[in-house]
C-alpha cells in the first residue's frame, strides 16, 4: 500500500466526486487497487481528519488516528455494504469509532493513574453504585441506538458524539441541511421512545 501523507491537505471532497464514485473506489481498493485507495484518501481524508480532531482535540493524536482509520479501510474495504449507507458515511463511522476508542483509552489510563495515586483508599459505596448506574445507562443508550435506522444513527453520532452542527452534519453526509435536521430530530424522537423517556 502506498504511504499516506501524515496530515491531510486541501479542502474536503465536493461536487465533482459523488458517493457512487467513492463506493467504486472502495470496491477497487478492496481488490487491492492502490491507486484507487490513494484517490479515496485524497478525496476524503480532510473530512475524516476534521471529525477525528473534533473528537480527540489533539492534532498529533488526530493524525495518528486518521492513519489508523485508513489502514483499517485498506484492510476491510470489502466489508462496505452500499445498501447500509454511503461510502462517506461508512468512512466517517469508522473514524468516529476509532477516535472515541482513543479518547476512552486515554481516559482509562488517566483513571488508572488516579487510582494508583489514591493508594489503598477504600472505594466509597456511593461511588460504586454511581459507576454501576452509569454503566447500565450506557447499555440502555447503546441498545436504543441500535433501534434507529442507519441514516438516523449516523446523523445523531456526528451531531452529539462528534460535536458537529446541523450544517456541518449536512456537509459531511452530502445532504441538504433540512434533511440532516429531520434525520437528527427523528432519531432523537426514536431514541427517546426506545429509552422510555417521557416527553
CATH number of the domain at 125-194, out of 1.10.10.10, 1.10.1740.10, 3.30.930.10, 3.40.50.300?
1.10.10.10
pLDDT given for residue 87 in this prediction: 93
Domain boundaries, the chain: 1-121, 125-194
pLDDT given for residue 53 in this prediction: 95
110: cell is 488517566
- Alpha carbons within 13 angstroms on the beta-carbon side of residue 148 total 25
* Structural domain 1-121, CATH architecture: Orthogonal Bundle (1.10)
pLDDT given for residue 159 in this prediction: 75
Q: Report helix, strand or coil for 148.
A: coil
- Contact between 166 and 178 under an 8 Å Cβ cutoff? The reply is no
Pairwise CA distance, residues 157 & 92, whole Å: 10
Instruction: Judge if pTM exceeds 0.75.
Output: no
User: What is the crossing angle of helices 87-118 and 34-56, to 10°?
Assistant: 40
- Those residues whose C-beta lies under 8 Å from the C-beta of residue 191, and which sit 6 or more positions away, are 141, 144, 145, 148, 156
10-residue averages of pLDDT along the chain (199 residues): 52 43 94 94 95 94 95 95 91 95 87 65 53 59 75 77 75 85 81 65
Amino acid at each position: 500500500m502506498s504511504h499516506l501523507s501524515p496530515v491531510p491537505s486541501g479542502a474536503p471532497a465536493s461536487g465533482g466526486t459523488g458517493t457512487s464514485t467513492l463506493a467504486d473506489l472502495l470496491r477497487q481498493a478492496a481488490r487491492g487497487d492502490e491507486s484507487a485507495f490513494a484517490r479515496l484518501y485524497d478525496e476524503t481524508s480532510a473530512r475524516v481528519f476534521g471529525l477525528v480532531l473534533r473528537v480527540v482535540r489533539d492534532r498529533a493524536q488526530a493524525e495518528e488516528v486518521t492513519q489508523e482509520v485508513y489502514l483499517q479501510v485498506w484492510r476491510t474495504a470489502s466489508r462496505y455494504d452500499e445498501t447500509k449507507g454511503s461510502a462517506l458515511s461508512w468512512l466517517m463511522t469508522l473514524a468516529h469509532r476509532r477516535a472515541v476508542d482513543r479518547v476512552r483509552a486515554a481516559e482509562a489510563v488517566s483513571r488508572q493513574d488516579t487510582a494508583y495515586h489514591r493508594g489503598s483508599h477504600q472505594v466509597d459505596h456511593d461511588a460504586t453504585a454511581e459507576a454501576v448506574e452509569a454503566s447500565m445507562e450506557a447499555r440502555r443508550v447503546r441498545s436504543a441506538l441500535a433501534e434507529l435506522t442507519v441514516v438516523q444513527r449516523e446523523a445523531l453520532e456526528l451531531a452529539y458524539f462528534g460535536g458537529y452542527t446541523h450544517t456541518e452534519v449536512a456537509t459531511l453526509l452530502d445532504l441538504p441541511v433540512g434533511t440532516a435536521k429531520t434525520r437528527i430530530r427523528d432519531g432523537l424522537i426514536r431514541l427517546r421512545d426506545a429509552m422510555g423517556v417521557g416527553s
